[in-house]
Structure 1
Amino acid sequence: MRRLAAVIRAIGFATYKEWAAFRSHMAASLLVGPVLFLVQVYIWHAMFEGRDTLNGLTYSQMLAYYGVATLIHYISFDFADWNLQMLVRSGKFVTFALRPLPHWLFALAQKIGHRSLALWIEVLPVMALFIFVFGVNMKPAAPGWAIVSILLSFLMNFLVNYCVGLTAFWLVRAEGVRRVFLLLKDVSAGVFIPLSFFPDALQKLLFFLPFQFITYLPTRVYIGDYELAGIHLSLGQAVALQTAAVGVAAAATTALYGAAMRRFTGVGV
């Protein structure tokens, strides 16, 4: 385990240094994120006109929701699906198949390094902007639970995206599937609108899908109140549910990865 941790740390640090040379690419988020947030400010200001709450959320809580959701997006951002499909399509994946370290672990280490750089280039500057320019309350209701939930969101987004990337072993061109899936994922995760605004029947479906654990649940945990499909959970219960979901996603990813490696070997033979 110590050797494995050292390998992951080395890969993460190498990725950190590699992307640090192109940090201006990340800095573009300093414009994109706040602009999108400003659009939400105008929309919800109009929606709350003459109202104190909408679906149990006040105007300040709604702004906090989108502020926190934006930060979680920066922290958990992932392109493992695109990278894996590119490696498979170009034939370069064979170099990883021959290594003792499974590629999914290599990709996770890369993400850790990439997002570590994003913490001070994207997350902290945008968070300061939300607090001091837009006046959004970004203080977590329970810092401990919020940190654990965001870390689990980080893992869940990676696992879901990596599974999408694995479809490249069965599909000749998986880009179309990837684009459609990512759009559905963002809608089902609560990126565009809180899931509690959807019809009750759809909320019940979304409760059992893995996507809410990427954005909606960690955002509600950060705010301090979780509710979906009429189900109210304490912060501890919500994080426990998220932990179980990440465990299921991890098991599904390793099983799918094993099937992909057997197919890859079979085609090679």
Structure 2
Amino acid sequence: MRSSVIRSMGAVGAATYKEWAAYRSHMAVSLLVGPVYYLVQYFIWQAVYEGRDTLNGLTLDEMLAYFGIAAVIHYLIFDFADWNLQMLVRTGKFVTFAMRPMPHWLFALSQKLGHRTLGFWIEFVPIGLLFLFVFQVDLIPAHPWLAAASIALSFMMNFLVNYCVGLTAFWLVRAEGIRRVILLLKDITAGVFVPLSFFPEAMQKVLFFLPFQFITYVPTRVMLGEYELAGITLSAGEAVLMQLGAVASAWIVMLLVYRLALKRFTGVGV
């Protein structure tokens, strides 16, 4: 049974890889996003740090490294499960997946694996080289294996959160608005726009218990070699263990919401 699931996931991933490879020019456009985002942050923080050596314990070089690493990680964990699932529900095409032996969440995860495998060559490698040799961002992690594990867990957490967002389509007639709001809040509380350690201390305590920090903030801090939030300092290994527990919990929540969504889907006679 397990081997058949792995073969099915491999087949879906390979099909997604080939499908997107035919339209790889669409993915190539995203090559502009990371560098432009980094340059904007570069000029902003150059101005903020003028006359200062450190800010919230971070030097200018560390701050720029944070945004450079976060931008590069984005190319590895990018996810579209929320949009894809809501489109299937809105158009009624989800009914075809409800009758398949493979649960849709596993199908969606397989799609993401195929999509990001292609993205690794088209997006991550060239952007990584650009940041490393042109922008002089140190992308060599302090603990390579821990960093790899943290990015893999970030990959899963981003999928689980986005998939749960997509599941709201089973309860909402028009879920696009709520999807956009949730995804914006997700990016803010994940540390995409500013490190979470820059938020007020009371807010940091709230952010510490939310799952979003494990998407961007945690893997970026693990890459830098240490973790600090809400007055809590952890080693890279401890941060990864905390991240593993958070992903396991998010997975359980996703499965529960998925079952409720299927009951609602079949309950209305679709």
How high is the TM-score relative to the length of structure 1? 0.98
1: CA distance, partners of 2:213 / 2:131 = 23
| Structure 1 runs, 4 residues or longer, greater than 2 Å off | none
2: CA distance, partners of 1:69 / 1:142 = 16
2: CA distance, partners of 1:99 / 1:11 = 13
Give 1:96-107 correspondences, 5 Å limit. 96-107=97-108
Does 2:23 align with 1:25?
Answer: no
1: CA distance, partners of 2:260 / 2:184 = 26
Which residue does 2:194 correspond to in 1? 193
Give 1:258-269 correspondences, 5 Å limit. 258-268=259-269
Q: Structure 1 unaligned runs (5+)?
A: none
2: CA distance, partners of 1:92 / 1:30 = 32
Which residue does 1:210 correspond to in 2? 211
Which residue does 2:226 correspond to in 1? 225
- Give the match's secondary structure for 2:268: helix
Deviation, 1:84, is: 0.5
1: CA distance, partners of 2:10 / 2:66 = 33
How high is the TM-score relative to the length of structure 2? 0.98
Deviation, 1:260, is: 0.6
Checking the alignment, whether the CA contact within 8 Å between 1:188 and 1:206 is kept in structure 2 is yes
Deviation, 1:144, is: 0.4
2: CA distance, partners of 1:26 / 1:43 = 27
Which residue does 1:57 correspond to in 2? 58
Which residue does 1:126 correspond to in 2? 127
Identity %: 68
2: CA distance, partners of 1:82 / 1:35 = 24
Quick one: which amino acid aligns to residue 207 of structure 1?
F
Deviation, 1:47, is: 1.4
Deviation, 1:70, is: 0.7
Does 2:174 align with 1:154?
Answer: no
1: CA distance, partners of 2:176 / 2:266 = 23
- What number of residue pairs does the alignment pair up? 269
1: CA distance, partners of 2:71 / 2:11 = 29
Which residue does 1:256 correspond to in 2? 257
1: CA distance, partners of 2:248 / 2:31 = 33
Deviation, 1:60, is: 1.3
Deviation, 1:186, is: 0.2
Deviation, 1:58, is: 1.3
Quick one: which amino acid aligns to residue 37 of structure 2?
L
1: CA distance, partners of 2:101 / 2:269 = 18
What do the CA deviations read for 1:147-177 (whole angstroms, capped 9, x no partner)?
A: 0000000000000000011011111110010
Give 1:150-189 correspondences, 5 Å limit. 150-189=151-190
Checking the alignment, whether the CA contact within 8 Å between 1:60 and 1:137 is kept in structure 2 is no
Quick one: which amino acid aligns to residue 129 of structure 1?
L
Q: Answer with 31-40 or 100-109: which moved more.
A: 31-40
RMSD of aligned residue pairs (Cα, Å): 0.8
2: CA distance, partners of 1:206 / 1:183 = 15
Q: Structure 2 unaligned runs (5+)?
A: none
Which residue does 1:10 correspond to in 2? 11
- Give the match's secondary structure for 2:228: strand
2: CA distance, partners of 1:187 / 1:129 = 26
Checking the alignment, whether the CA contact within 8 Å between 1:12 and 1:114 is kept in structure 2 is yes
